[in-house]
C-alpha cells in the first residue's frame, strides 16, 4: 500500500508541474514575444539594464495592486475601488508624514486601505450585493473621501526615504534594484505562497470554483470573502504608498482608471472573472506585458493611441486564446 | 411514437418505448422517478433526438429538430416550471415569437400589429375559458394558476394539437387543481390530444381516459383508467426488484446520534442510531431535500429541536463537519463537487488542517491522502490532480463519497447518493454504506427516489408526503407498493 501511495504521489506531483506550466506558458510566451518584438523595433538598447529597470519601475504600482486583485478574482469577486484606494493612500501618507515617521505613515495608509476593503467585504457579504456593484459604489465613495480629506488639493509632504522607494539603483545605489521592486518581489512570493500553500488560499480557489460546494464543505464563505477584500485593499494601499513615492505628494486625483489596468493584468495572466483560476506568476507577466508595450511604444515614438490599441487587442486576444485552450483541454 | 430508444452514455434511458395519444383524449403517463417519462416527453417536444424509433403525427412522419419545430408541428409542452417572460404582458406572452405584424411578414423591422395581437390573445384565452384575464397585465403580477392558463393559451394560439402537461398541479393550490381538470376536459372536447404526467395516482384517476406506465425505460403496461384500480397502476410502476445488489451485514443499532424533534421544515421527528441506515422515501418536491439541508445547516431551521450526539441546536455546515456530520448533495455538479478543482482538493476541502503545519497546506500530502481513497474506491482517473469535471458520473460520485470517508464522519447524510450513476458504481456504494454502518459507530440518513434501493439498504424507512415526515418503521413492514401509495397520498 505504501509503495502504491508513493508512486501515485509522485505521478501527482509531476502532473502539477506540467499543469502549472501549461497554465502560465501562454502568458510567459506572450511576454517573450512582445519583448522580442519591441527589442527588434527599438534595437539592443531596449534590453539595457537601465531600460529593463525602467520597465520594472513602471509596472510595480500596477503589480502590487494586481497581487491583491489576483486573490479577489480567484475567489470569484472583483474590486473596482483599487484606483480610488491608491489615491486615498497617497493622501493619507502625505498627511501622516507631517506628524510621524515614514514607516508609521505608510502603515497608516495601509490601515486606511484595509478599512476600505473591510467596507467592501461587509457590504458584499451582508447585503448580498454582487461585488461589481458594491465596489463600483465604493470606487466613487473612496475617491470622494480622498478628495475631501485632501481638500481637493495636492498634499505636500516632507521628504523622507519613502520618496526613494522607486529611485533608480543604476547609479550604484546599494541593492542592485530599487527597494520598491524588492518589496514587490517579496509580496509576490508571499501572495503566491498564500494562494497555493495555505488553507485561506485553497478556500479562495474553492469559493471561486463553486461557492455552493465550498459552503457544503464547511468553508466559512463570509469570513473568507471579508478577509480577501481586506487583503486586496491593503495591497492596493501599499501600491498607493509606491505611487506616493513616485509623486512625492498626496494626490486625490491620481490613479483614475488604474483598476482597469490591474484587472487587465490579472486577466492577461490567466485569471478568470468567473473565479477559480489565476496565479501570481501569470499576473506579474500580464502586468509586465502591458509595461513593455507602454515603454516600447513610447521609445519607438509611437503615439499613445497606438499603445492603447495594442494593449486592448492583447487583452481580447489573450482571453480568447485562453478560452479556446480551456475548451480544447476540456474535450476528452 | 414507436420503438423509441435513447441512451445516455452506457445506460438506456428509453429502450423501445411505444406511446400513442388520440385527439380528444387525455392519456396519463406514469412511472417512478427515472422511469423515462421526462426523456420520452423531451423527445416528443423536440428537446432531445431519439437514437432509434419513429414518430408520426396524424400519420405523417414527425422528427422535430428542436422545440420550435415541434411547436410548429403542433406539439406543445407545459413544464413544471413555467416559461413565461414575467415583465411582458399577457398578450405579449401569448404571441411571443409569432407576433402579428402590419404589412407583409418577414420584414425584419415590421411593426407589431397590437390590435391583432389582442385579438389572438383574447381568442386563445376564450378557448381556455378565461376571458377575465386582462391581456394588458404583466404576467408576473398574476397568480400561479393564472400564469399556467396563459401558458396553455400560448400553446393554443400557436395551433397546438398535442398538449403535454408535466406535473401541472405541483404549483397549484387545491381549488385550482379542480379548475384545471375542468379546463382539461374542455380542451379535450375541442379535439386536442393531451398527455398528462403526474406522480399522483388520484389525479391520474380523476383526469385521464387511458394510462401508460413506464418502468426502467420500457413499457410496463397501460389500460383504461376508469376500469383499473389505483393499486394495479402502482403495481405496474413497481415491477420486480434486483436481488444481490444490496449486501446486508450484521447491524446492531447503538446509541442515538442524531435526534430530530418536530424540526420544521419537514415536521420531522426521528431518532437515528449508530449502526443503522434510516431512509426517507417520498416524491420529488415532497420536501425531503429541504429537511436534509436544514439538518446540515444549509437552510434555516424554522422550529423544533435538533441534536447531534451531545451538541444541540442549529449549526452552519462548518460546525456540522466538526460534529462529524457529513452531507452528500443530490446536485453533484452544482453543489456536491467543484468541477474545476482537482480530485484531491475536492476530497480534502472539508478539513485541510492535517495537510500541513499551522495554516499551511501541502498539496503533495493532499494528493497522497486522495490517492489512498482513489485506490480504495476504485476511482478511475489519471491522477489525484485531475479535474473532477473530466471524470464519469459514477467516479465523480465516488469522489464525493471519498470526501465523507476522508473526513471520517459519524453521521452520513446522503441525498440521492446513486442518482445517475451506473449499476456497478451503485453496488459499490451500497456495499460501502453497509460496511461503514456495520462497524457499529456510524449511521446514515438516506434520501432516495429509487424504492428498491431504500428497501435494500435501509433498516428503517419514513415517508415524506406534502412536506411532512411520517414515522420511521422497520423495513420489513414496507413494500414498494405501500411506500408508493403512502408517498403519492393514495393511502389516505
Q: Tens digit of pLDDT for each residue in A50-61?
A: 888 888 988 999
The pLDDT assigned to B104 comes to 56
Cβ pairs A/B, distance under 8 A: 120
Q: How far does A258 lie from chain B, in Å, by closest CA?
A: 30
Helix and strand totals (H; E) in chain B: 16, 22
Q: Give first-to-last CA distance, chain A, whole Å.
A: 30
pTM of the model: 0.78
φ, ψ at B34 (rounded to 5°): 80, 5
CB pair distance less than 8 Å for B361 and A13: no
Nearest to A197 among B362, B382, B403 (CB): B362
Peptide bond into B265 cis (omega under 30): yes
Residues 6+ apart with CB under 8 A from B8: none
Which residue in chain A has the smallest CA separation from B376? A1
Query: Is the C-alpha dihedral spanning B10, B14, B15, B16 positive or negative?
Result: negative
Q: Among residues B178, B118, B164, B169, which one has the least CA distance to residue B144?
A: B169
Alpha carbon dihedral B134, B139, B143, B147, in 10-degree steps, equals 90
In chain A, what residues touch B369 (CB-CB under 8 Å)?
none
The pLDDT assigned to B152 comes to 84
The kind and range of the H/E element at B27 are strand B26-30
Complex ipTM: 0.84
Q: Which of A 264-303 lie inside 8 A of B, CB atoms?
A: 276-277
Q: Which residues pair with B215 in a beta bridge?
A: B218
Residues 6+ apart with CB under 8 A from B198: B28, B30, B167, B168, B169, B204
Q: What is the SS3 string spanning B122-140?
A: HHHHHHCCCCCCCCCCEHH
Give CA–CA dist B73/B93, Å, rounded: 20
pLDDT digits (tens, 9 = 90+) for A179-232: 899 999 999 999 999 999 999 999 999 999 999 999 999 999 999 999 999 999
The pLDDT assigned to A6 comes to 32
**Max CA pair span of chain A:** 70
Residue A175 grid coordinates: 541593492
Neighbours of A14 (CB within 10 A): 12
Q: Among residues B430, B408, B436, which one has the least CA distance to residue B417?
A: B430
Residue stretches of chain B with pLDDT short of 70: 1-12, 33-34, 101-110, 131, 170-171, 173-175, 239-244, 422-423, 490-492
The pLDDT assigned to B464 comes to 92
Residue B226 grid coordinates: 376508469
The pLDDT assigned to A173 comes to 58
**Max CA pair span of chain B:** 79
Neighbours of B460 (CB within 10 A): 21
Q: Is A170 on the interface with B (CB under 8 A)?
A: no
- Asked if residue A331 has pLDDT above 80, the reply is no
Q: Is A326 on the interface with B (CB under 8 A)?
A: no
The alpha-helical segments, DSSP class H, found in B139-247 are 144-157, 174-189, 201-207, 230-238
On the 0-12 / 13-18 / 19+ scale of CB atoms within 10 A, A180 is buried
Give CA–CA dist A106/A101, Å, rounded: 9
The pLDDT assigned to A250 comes to 94
The pLDDT assigned to A21 comes to 47
The pLDDT assigned to A2 comes to 34
Give CA–CA dist B137/B88, Å, rounded: 8
- E-strand stretches of chain A: 155-156, 249-250
Q: How far does A275 lie from chain B, in Å, by closest CA?
A: 10
- Asked if residue A10 has pLDDT above 60, the reply is no
CB pair distance less than 8 Å for A12 and B341: no
pLDDT digits (tens, 9 = 90+) for A280-323: 999 999 999 999 998 888 888 888 898 889 888 888 888 887 77
CB pair distance less than 8 Å for A210 and B390: no
CB distance B443 to B276 below 8 Å: yes
The pLDDT assigned to A12 comes to 36
Which residue in chain B has the smallest CA separation from A6? B368
In chain A, what residues touch B296 (CB-CB under 8 Å)?
216
φ, ψ at A168 (rounded to 5°): -60, 140
Q: How far does B412 lie from chain A, in Å, by closest CA?
A: 13
CB distance A131 to A120 below 8 Å: yes
Residue of A1, A5, A8, A12 for testing the chain B interface, max B β-carbons within 10 Å: A12
CB pair distance less than 8 Å for A8 and B384: yes
The kind and range of the H/E element at B257 are strand B256-264
Amino acid at each position: 500500500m505504501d509503495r502504491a501511495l508513493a508512486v501515485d504521489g509522485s505521478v501527482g506531483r509531476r502532473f502539477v508541474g506540467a499543469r502549472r506550466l501549461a497554465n502560465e506558458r501562454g502568458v510567459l510566451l506572450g511576454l517573450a514575444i512582445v519583448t522580442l518584438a519591441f527589442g527588434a523595433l527599438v534595437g539592443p538598447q531596449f534590453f539595457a539594464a537601465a531600460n529593463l529597470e525602467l520597465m520594472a519601475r513602471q509596472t510595480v504600482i500596477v503589480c502590487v495592486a494586481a497581487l491583491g486583485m489576483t486573490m479577489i478574482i480567484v475567489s470569484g469577486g472583483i474590486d473596482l475601488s483599487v484606483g480610488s484606494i491608491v489615491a486615498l493612500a497617497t493622501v493619507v501618507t502625505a498627511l501622516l508624514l507631517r506628524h510621524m515617521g515614514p514607516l508609521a505613515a505608510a502603515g497608516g495608509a495601509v490601515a486606511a486601505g484595509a478599512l476600505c476593503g473591510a467596507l467592501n467585504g461587509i457590504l458584499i457579504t451582508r447585503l448580498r450585493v454582487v461585488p461589481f456593484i458594491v465596489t463600483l459604489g465604493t470606487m466613487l465613495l473612496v475617491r470622494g473621501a480622498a478628495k475631501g480629506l485632501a481638500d481637493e488639493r495636492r498634499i505636500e509632504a516632507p521628504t523622507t526615504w519613502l520618496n526613494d522607494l522607486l529611485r533608480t539603483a543604476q547609479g550604484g545605489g546599494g541593492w542592485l534594484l530599487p527597494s520598491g521592486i524588492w518589496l514587490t518581489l517579496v509580496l509576490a512570493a508571499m501572495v503566491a505562497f498564500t494562494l497555493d500553500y495555505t488553507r485561506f488560499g485553497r478556500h479562495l480557489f474553492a469559493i471561486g470554483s463553486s461557492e455552493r460546494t465550498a459552503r457544503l464543505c464547511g468553508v466559512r464563505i463570509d469570513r473568507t470573502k471579508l478577509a480577501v477584500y481586506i487583503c486586496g485593499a491593503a495591497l492596493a494601499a501599499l501600491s498607493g504608498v509606491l505611487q506616493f513615492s513616485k509623486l512625492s505628494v498626496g494626490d486625490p486625483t491620481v490613479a483614475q482608471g488604474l483598476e482597469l489596468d490591474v484587472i487587465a493584468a490579472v486577466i492577461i495572466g490567466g485569471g478568470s472573472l468567473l473565479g477559480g483560476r489565476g496565479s501570481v506568476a501569470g499576473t506579474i507577466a500580464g502586468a509586465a506585458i502591458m509595461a513593455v508595450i507602454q515603454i516600447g511604444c513610447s521609445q519607438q515614438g509611437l503615439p499613445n493611441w497606438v499603445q492603447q490599441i495594442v494593449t486592448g487587442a492583447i487583452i481580447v486576444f489573450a482571453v480568447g486564446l485562453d478560452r479556446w485552450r480551456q475548451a480544447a483541454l476540456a474535450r476528452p | 411514437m414507436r420503438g423509441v430508444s435513447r441512451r445516455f452514455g452506457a445506460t438506456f434511458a428509453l429502450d423501445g418505448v411505444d406511446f400513442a395519444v388520440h385527439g380528444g383524449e387525455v392519456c396519463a403517463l406514469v412511472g417512478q422517478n427515472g422511469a423515462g417519462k421526462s426523456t420520452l416527453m423531451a423527445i416528443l417536444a423536440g428537446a432531445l433526438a431519439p437514437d432509434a424509433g419513429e414518430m408520426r403525427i396524424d400519420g405523417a412522419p414527425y422528427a422535430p429538430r428542436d422545440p420550435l419545430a415541434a411547436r410548429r408541428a403542433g406539439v406543445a409542452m407545459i413544464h413544471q416550471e413555467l416559461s413565461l417572460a414575467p415583465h411582458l404582458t399577457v398578450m405579449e406572452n401569448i404571441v411571443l415569437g409569432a407576433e402579428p405584424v402590419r404589412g407583409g411578414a418577414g420584414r425584419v423591422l415590421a411593426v407589431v400589429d397590437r390590435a391583432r395581437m389582442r385579438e389572438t390573445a383574447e381568442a386563445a384565452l376564450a378557448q381556455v375559458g378565461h376571458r377575465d384575464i386582462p391581456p394588458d397585465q404583466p404576467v408576473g403580477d398574476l397568480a400561479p394558476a393564472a400564469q399556467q392558463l396563459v401558458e396553455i393559451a400560448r400553446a393554443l394560439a400557436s395551433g397546438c394539437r398535442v398538449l403535454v402537461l408535466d406535473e401541472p398541479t405541483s404549483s397549484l393550490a387545491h381549488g385550482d387543481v379542480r379548475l384545471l381538470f375542468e379546463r382539461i376536459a374542455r380542451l379535450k372536447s375541442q379535439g386536442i390530444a393531451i398527455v398528462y404526467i403526474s406522480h399522483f395516482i388520484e389525479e391520474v384517476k380523476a383526469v385521464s381516459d387511458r394510462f401508460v406506465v413506464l418502468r426502467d425505460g420500457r413499457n410496463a403496461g397501460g389500460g383504461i383508467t376508469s376500469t383499473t384500480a389505483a393499486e394495479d397502476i402502482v403495481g405496474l410502476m413497481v415491477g420486480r426488484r434486483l436481488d444481490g445488489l444490496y449486501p446486508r451485514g450484521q447491524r446492531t443499532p447503538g446509541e442515538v446520534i442524531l435526534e430530530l424533534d418536530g424540526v420544521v421544515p419537514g415536521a420531522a421527528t426521528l431518532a437515528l442510531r449508530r449502526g443503522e441506515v434510516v431512509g426517507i422515501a417520498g416524491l420529488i418536491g415532497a420536501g425531503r431535500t429541504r429537511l436534509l439541508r436544514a439538518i446540515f445547516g444549509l437552510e434555516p431551521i424554522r422550529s423544533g429541536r435538533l441534536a447531534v450526539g451531545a451538541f444541540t441546536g442549529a449549526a452552519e455546515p462548518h460546525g456540522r463537519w466538526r460534529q462529524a456530520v457529513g452531507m452528500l448533495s443530490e446536485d453533484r455538479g452544482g453543489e456536491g463537487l467543484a468541477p474545476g478543482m482537482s480530485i484531491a482538493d475536492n476530497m480534502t476541502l472539508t478539513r485541510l488542517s492535517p495537510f500541513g503545519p499551522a495554516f499551511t497546506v501541502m498539496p503533495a500530502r493532499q494528493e497522497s491522502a486522495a490517492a489512498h481513497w482513489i485506490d480504495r474506491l476504485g476511482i478511475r482517473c489519471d491522477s489525484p490532480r485531475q479535474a473532477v469535471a473530466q471524470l464519469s458520473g459514477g467516479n465523480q460520485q465516488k469522489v464525493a463519497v471519498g470526501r465523507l470517508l476522508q473526513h471520517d464522519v459519524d453521521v452520513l447524510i446522503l441525498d440521492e447518493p446513486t442518482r445517475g450513476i451506473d449499476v456497478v458504481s451503485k453496488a459499490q456504494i451500497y456495499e460501502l454504506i453497509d460496511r461503514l454502518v456495520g462497524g457499529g459507530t456510524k449511521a446514515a440518513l438516506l434520501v432516495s427516489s429509487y424504492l428498491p434501493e431504500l428497501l435494500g439498504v435501509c433498516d428503517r424507512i419514513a415517508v415524506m408526503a406534502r412536506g411532512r415526515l411520517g414515522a420511521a418503521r422497520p423495513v420489513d413492514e414496507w413494500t414498494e407498493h405501500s411506500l408508493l401509495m403512502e408517498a403519492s397520498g393514495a393511502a389516505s
